[in-house]
Structure 1
Amino acid sequence: MSPTRLIVGPEELGRVQTFQVQNGGRLPVDVVVNRASFTVSEDGRMVLDEDAPHSAAEWVEVSPAKFHLIPGERRPVAVRIDPPANRGNGEHEVAVLFVAPPGPRAAGENIKINRAIGAPIYITVPGPIDTSLRLGDLSSPGFVMSGPVDFGVTVDNVGTVHRDFFGRDGLSVEVDGRKVPFPDFTVLRGTSRNVAVRWTDPPLMCVCHPRVSIPGPDGPSSRSATVVIFPLHLFALMIGLALVLHHLVRLARRRYRAHVLDAARGLRGDGESDLRPGGEA
């Protein structure tokens, strides 16, 4: 199916939007097209919800509403959008569901599963919009002995349209003079997203100050944290090796002194045994 989503601006409300649905399998399939209200969970999953705010499920008509596809066949599905007069400002959402119902149940089968693909449509009506976002605290481990280092942040969409963070326009953690990008994500109007990223190649030691910021109509919003990376295990190993080396040096010195003393005693003993009574050799 393509595209995977539609973004319809105020100037496009009178135009017919189109999805292309293709059967890429080896068997024919029947497809039923439905509309549904939805929201998005904090981890980015689409959640069908009849009571979702800003729903445009009643604004949309699809044609055809059902069709049959043989293997390799492609079929266009037209979407017509007709907002009501009492609509609110900003963006409204609807999911178009392409459902392949299960066929007749075979003997011995107890379960049948519907296969479905959901494509969101974001519809912005004429009028003022707000693109404001709010960042939660930047989470970090505070102290680690080595990498990798995990960061996380919550992005709250307090505006009236969805916000995309893709590619060059994505969200990144700036740390140690470089950028560590978060995975691509979308924040729906009136929702929050929890996003995380792993810094896989931090330096061996540092007192780092990671920072994340997003642009906004009133200026950028930023959050920062402090991360101390110190290889305590290597430091302990070095101290241990130093203590062992010190012990070996002391042991070697003791053995050397004992050897010298033994040699001196031996020389002194030999000299006394060679002396004859009367002091003559």
Structure 2
Amino acid sequence: MVKNIQLISGCLVVMICVVFLARATAWSALRVSPTQQNLNIPPGGTETIQLLLSNSSRTDSMQVKLYVTDYNIRQDGSPVFPNANTTRDSLSSWIKIEDTDIVLMPGERRSVACKYTVPSRAEGERFGAIMVEKVPDNDKTPYQELPADRLGGVIKLTYRIACTVMLLVDGTKVDGTNFLKNGVIKNVAVNIPESDSWMEKQEIEVSAVFGNEGNIHITPRGGEALIVHKKLRKVVARIPLTTPRNPTIFPGGMRDFKGYIKEPLRPGEYTVQAKFNMDSEGGPISPANTEFVITPELARMMNQVFYGEGEYSGPPIIGAEPQLVEVEVPGGGYRSSVITINNQHDEPVQVAGYIKGLQYQPDGEMRIVEPGTVERSCADWITVQPAKFKLSPGESKKIMLKLRIPDGADGGHYGKLVFETSPLSANASQLEPEKSLGSTLMVIVPGTSRIKGSITDFGTAPVEDGKPTEFTIGFNNTGNMHVRPTGTIKVKDYMGDIVHEQSLGKNVPFVLPGNTRRLKEVYGGEKLPAGKYTATVVVNYGGEADARADYEFTIPDKPPTDEPAQVATKQKKTNNS
């Protein structure tokens, strides 16, 4: 047994295969197109698809081999390619490749015919992949004999590109029924960090698992978690539920979706309701719920993170609903709004309400400022009635905000309802009043808005492990109305082909006029081969034209040290409006 182990260790050959799954992507000089096929073929039918291979090297030839595997997607969204004909819905035996061993000369482009033949009694949907694998160059270095007690061997790296295939057997039924899209939401959970790690994580994770119980692949859309305050029976937040990888789910499969609560919540009991949408062919999806509790200590820490250190970072004593008041009032006009407030303290309190100015820092931190100290404040336009009152523990009360808009006002103006509370005790006069933040106020003068914005900068954090870790975008609101930027980031290789795409701005708060917001988006794609890339961000904020910016970066071949590789970059901005 020992001799056999020594023999194996002395002749060890390890092959590491790296699969790149993207649209028209490449490793080194090898390129394949298309890298995804969606086919509809009737029973007994055939179809031939041309697979285009190219060698972009100007000097070196390349040997490649083509073969078929099965194709599936894990719960985390990553692809997996089992051996051919080993999975339930495999189409591997239906594919015949015209030429499986090819030598590409420098600069050569060649089409390879891939013929699909569907059996006459076939039904349902099938999945597979055509692999294009670069054959490594022969190692001309002679093997050296090693002592029997030493482990030696040769490591060969092999790279392959997958062309994934989803084939629908057209005009058939499964088990006597039509194709059925049936999704189910399960395992909804809320992960609240421990108190000692909250200041590091600064967010509450909401997760849900979406399962496919139908007989055809599905792609759930519009996932969100509704955060409902149980006592008030009101939705206080809507959290997008997303997956950083491929959202497509095969029959019998599942996918993880996550979202994050970053804005502060008041103490109390909450229900999370996870919801998803499907296309018109899918049946209704029943939401799934779970519950969680925000303690006074956690509420204090959430306020401290969101509002910063200062007079407003303590636990909220007075709650206000609605949390956002957005009204349209013409110049010279009047309007009133009713706010419901409640005492969340366990003692009776004296309450004073007033309006202050509102700003946001580039990192999203809210700043409460004195009236008249910032432009586009509505603090001087609003009075609170009654301005002072008493509340028993748990008591609720309606107050009125009266607005008078001056002539000549335009665009949007903003403020924050603030409460000062003092206990109704004998020594209350000796105590400093505690402050709580109420509703955010947005006053819009209709017909006067100017929606403009620009990207001030765009880049990535240092490259680590073959990919950028994070994109950063600076967006400046140069108009007179608040905006909520959304958009996309696309990464292209040196040939101009898209190798990654992701959305941005799903959790971005409003950007007020004159404010700049620093947006951060974690890169959600696969590792990239060494080479030059261009990232393009398109920001949609409601203006006449989207704001765009490009950023060039390089994935190094071999980082010289263990430190994250710094990349050469160049930025240019276009189409800001």
> Normalising to structure 1: TM-score of the pair?
0.70
Decide whether aligned partners of structure 1 residues 124 and 231 sit closer, same or farther in structure 2, where only a CA change above 3 A counts: same
Structure-1 residue corresponding to 2:272: 210
Structure-2 residue corresponding to 1:119: 163
CA shift digits 1:238-271 (9 cap, x unpaired):
69xxxxxx9xx89xxxxxxxxxxxxxxxxxxxxx
Structure-2 residue corresponding to 1:91: 125
**Secondary structure at 1:139 match in 2:** strand
Alpha-carbon distance in 1 for matches of 2:239, 2:56: 39
Alpha-carbon distance in 2 for matches of 1:107, 1:199: 53
Amino acid at match of 2:51: F
Q: Among residues 95, 99, 117, which one is paired with 1:60 in the alignment?
A: 95
2:49 matched to 1:17?
yes
Q: CA RMSD in A?
A: 3.4
Contact 1:142 1:226 in 2 (8 A): no
In the alignment of these two chains, the number of paired residues is: 238
CA shift digits 1:185-238 (9 cap, x unpaired):
211122222x13241633253655433223474422211223444461675996
Q: Give the drift of 1:91.
A: 0.3
Q: Give the drift of 1:2.
A: 2.8
> Normalising to structure 2: TM-score of the pair?
0.37
Q: Give the drift of 1:48.
A: 0.8
Whose relative contact order is higher, 1 or 2, with alpha carbons under 8 Å and at least 6 apart?
A: 1
Overall identity of the aligned pairs, in %: 17
Q: Give the drift of 1:118.
A: 1.8
**Higher mean C-alpha displacement, 102-111 vs 55-64:** 102-111
Structure-1 residue corresponding to 2:37: 6
Contact 2:47 2:117 in 1 (8 A): no
Structure-2 residue corresponding to 1:186: 248
Q: Give the drift of 1:98.
A: 0.7
**Secondary structure at 1:220 match in 2:** coil
The aligned runs of 1:231-246 (5 Å cut-off) are 232=297, 235=300
Contact 1:144 1:228 in 2 (8 A): no
Amino acid at match of 1:9: N
Alpha-carbon distance in 2 for matches of 1:134, 1:70: 51
The aligned runs of 1:129-208 (5 Å cut-off) are 129-141=179-191, 147-165=202-220, 169-175=221-227, 176-183=236-243, 184-193=246-255, 195-199=256-260, 201-205=262-266, 208=270
**Higher mean C-alpha displacement, 203-212 vs 184-193:** 203-212
Alpha-carbon distance in 2 for matches of 1:229, 1:71: 63
Alpha-carbon distance in 1 for matches of 2:213, 2:63: 41
Alpha-carbon distance in 2 for matches of 1:25, 1:173: 49
Q: Give the drift of 1:69.
A: 2.4
Q: Give the structure with higher Rg (CA).
A: 1
Contact 1:151 1:198 in 2 (8 A): yes
Contact 1:92 1:122 in 2 (8 A): yes
Structure-2 residue corresponding to 1:38: 71
Alpha-carbon distance in 1 for matches of 2:50, 2:225: 37
Q: Give the drift of 1:150.
A: 1.5
Instruction: Judging by fraction of residues, say which structure has more helix.
Output: 1
Alpha-carbon distance in 1 for matches of 2:299, 2:211: 41
Alpha-carbon distance in 2 for matches of 1:10, 1:70: 35
Q: Among residues 79, 82, 88, which one is paired with 2:114 in the alignment?
A: 79
Amino acid at match of 2:155: I
Decide whether aligned partners of structure 1 residues 162 and 65 sit closer, same or farther in structure 2, where only a CA change above 3 A counts: same
Amino acid at match of 1:197: K
Q: Among residues 138, 147, 161, which one is paired with 1:104 in the alignment?
A: 138
